[in-house]
Structure 1
């Protein structure tokens, strides 16, 4: 079995118990629908699996890329899906303050990665809902607990940029050693029209396919950024500071050669 066996507490093999509901704050009020949708579909899955018996086994080999990812192309033959993570963080931008009509320039990203391998392999629809719902929980709260609300997923790594164009993914933690390395953009496609908006109505950033640059550890060769939520900058720099961040969440699918 190539993926760590981990299901969110709500999908525990021993109890299939309903999850503890998080404490909502005033800041969440406009976004209750996304969170409500997640818990509703989760409750449905819990009931279905109580009737079905034992919890599903984590098996990433059965997962296929969403149909919306077709423009990105399929993973290189011979690679296998090693890990799925939900990334929760910020897309970063800069602005030319001398020109209010200038377009904000992307300047990397910073995100914590949370282990979603087994919940995605067992319940892809729950995973997609979780990606949307997680945007509406404060980043500081998630980092402080080292768990992703509202599903209590543990940290499996970190994502940042080593320069303006080179993303780095580190999947080596005390619990898992899945590899790390740098990547470069290989393909891009606009997020689906149905993609969820960000906290302030920001459009979803594009879906991406990334290819390894140099020699990465853990056999990591390709990364897909899928199911993006928010993260896009405004159309112009009018009223924006010299540098700013837009919160986003997404799924990263990691493919490896060994």
Structure 2
């Protein structure tokens, strides 16, 4: 299925429309009844390899859509990761309707033209008087330290604590950069960096993988990607 801004906007509008009658709320919905599907933590090629599960004292406090690019430089013919940059969007109310709505939005986001994306978001903001942007995601200078800054002044600075391949059937990405979906990750906070949260999972990824063959480009290449980030806090 090819996703367009109209597809994504329709999905999100449908989700918030269902919520409108009882709640009139489009962002910041309760996640108390939302659970990760177990298969999201399991390596599809090796069932004995799993992402560590949330601890018993961890509470799901945010689900955001990250939409941006995974960045690579070409070093001796090998695509070398140079971190990522993404805008984060509140998916809580989409999940309050159903995970299927949220997955349509996530899979569709990677196919969007950035200009159309901004126009669509402005349309939604004007229609519902809601700020869907929840923060930004980027990497520190060493390209091994993912950072998240949220609009509510909270943050997370961490590192990879688990990795498995993307789920089967994940969106391979936007042509001509449809090289596959980046892996699912568990991120843990780095000591002394003042993180507000105990764990972030990158799940239900779309696009973002580097070309599988030898690279030859100059400078940095930006590969569009989207992913759900599930944010947990110790209680």
Against the structure 1 CA distance between its residues 128 and 155, is the aligned structure 2 distance closer, same or farther, given a 3 Å change threshold? same
Q: Distance in 1 between matches of 2:15 and 2:30?
A: 21
Q: Distance in 2 between matches of 1:129 and 1:80?
A: 25
TM-score (norm 2): 0.78
Aligned to 2:84: 109
Against the structure 1 CA distance between its residues 249 and 149, is the aligned structure 2 distance closer, same or farther, given a 3 Å change threshold? farther
Question: Alignment partner for residue 180 of structure 2, among 203, 208, 214?
Answer: 203
Q: How much does 1:133 deviate?
A: 1.4
Post-superposition Cα deviations, 1:116-150, rounded to whole Å, max 9, x if no partner, equal 1222233211001001112222234545x6x7488
Q: Which has the larger radius of gyration?
A: 1
Q: Distance in 1 between matches of 2:133 and 2:224?
A: 18
Structure 1: 5+ residue runs without aligned partners? 1-29
Aligned to 1:167: 146
Aligned to 2:211: 234
Q: How does 1:91-240 map to 2 (within 5 A)?
A: 91-96=70-75, 99=76, 102-142=77-117, 148=121, 154-162=132-140, 163-171=142-150, 173=151, 176-177=152-153, 179-200=154-175, 201-215=178-192, 217=194, 219-240=196-217
Post-superposition Cα deviations, 1:40-90, rounded to whole Å, max 9, x if no partner, equal 79759957x79xx63598321211112332221211221111111100100
Aligned to 1:10: none
TM-score (norm 1): 0.72
Q: Relative contact order (alpha carbons < 8 A, sep ≥ 6): 1 or 2 greater?
A: 2
Contact 2:83 / 2:144 at 8 angstroms: preserved in 1?
A: yes
Does 2:29 align with 1:54?
no
Computed over aligned residues only, the root mean square deviation of the Cα atoms, in angstroms, reads 3.0
Structure 2: 5+ residue runs without aligned partners? 42-49, 126-130
